[in-house]
């Protein structure tokens, strides 16, 4: 498994909140924690931006993806909008999470709650090559539902 070092800075509102961390030895995503000053209540159907109190400096050629936590989705109906959210290698602002409550009850975000996951991975740069035709495949242009499922 490849390992990289990523610089991280905690902004003053997040200085006592945990840095993102892996909760198990083989976890792909790190849990990300809320750095709210006061409890944030997210009503059913409502969305809010939740601060994390961290800023990161990814090396060129990497991105961080923000993904929902499956437990919050299952238990509370809370998920992440713009998912996965991409944090580019040149972004230096505070990471904030856009959550939405699809559940039937108000959801309260408290300081230090695990609200999302972050996966850091390499990216590639694409260079387009205009062509009059594409390679043939068995699938061809079959799109949504083409396998009957």
132 within some domain? no
Domain with 61 in it: 7-122
Q: Record the pTM.
A: 0.88
Q: What is the pLDDT of residues 13-27, one digit of tens each?
A: 778 999 999 999 999
| Number of structural domains the chain divides into | 1
Helix, strand, coil percentages for the chain (3-state, nearest 5): 5, 35, 60
Bridge partners, residue 97, by sequence: 50
Specify whether the CB–CB gap between 49 and 97 falls below 8 A: yes
146 within some domain? no
Percent of the chain with pLDDT over 70: 99
Q: What is the pLDDT of residues 107-126, one digit of tens each?
A: 999 999 999 999 999 999 99
144 within some domain? no
148 within some domain? no
140 within some domain? no
What is the DSSP secondary-structure string of 22-71? -SSTT-SSEEEE---SS-EEE-TT-EEEEE-SEEEEPPTTEEEEEE--HH
Quote the pLDDT of residue 149: 62
Quote the pLDDT of residue 120: 97
101 within some domain? yes
127 within some domain? no
List the CATH number of the domain containing 87: 2.70.40.10
109 within some domain? yes
Residue ranges of the chain whose pLDDT lies below 50: none
Neighbours of 53 (CB within 10 A): 24
Phi/psi for 63 (5° steps) reads -135, 160
Quote the pLDDT of residue 143: 81
């Amino acid at each position: 498994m490849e390992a990289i070092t990523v610089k991280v800075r905690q902004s003053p509102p997040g200085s006592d909140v945990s840095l993102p961390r892996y909760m198990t030895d083989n976890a792909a995503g790190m849990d990300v924690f809320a750095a709210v000053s006061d409890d944030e209540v997210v009503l059913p159907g409502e969305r809010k931006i939740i601060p994390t109190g961290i800023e990161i400096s990814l090396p060129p050629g990497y991105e961080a993806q923000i993904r929902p936590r499956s437990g919050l989705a299952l238990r509370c109906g809370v998920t992440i909008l713009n998912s996965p959210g991409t944090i580019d290698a040149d972004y230096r602002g505070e990471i904030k999470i856009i959550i939405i409550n699809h559940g039937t009850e108000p959801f309260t975000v408290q300081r230090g709650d695990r609200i999302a996951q972050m996966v850091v991975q390499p990216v590639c740069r694409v260079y387009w090559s205009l062509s009059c035709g594409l390679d043939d495949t068995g699938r061809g242009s079959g799109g949504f539902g083409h396998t009957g499922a």
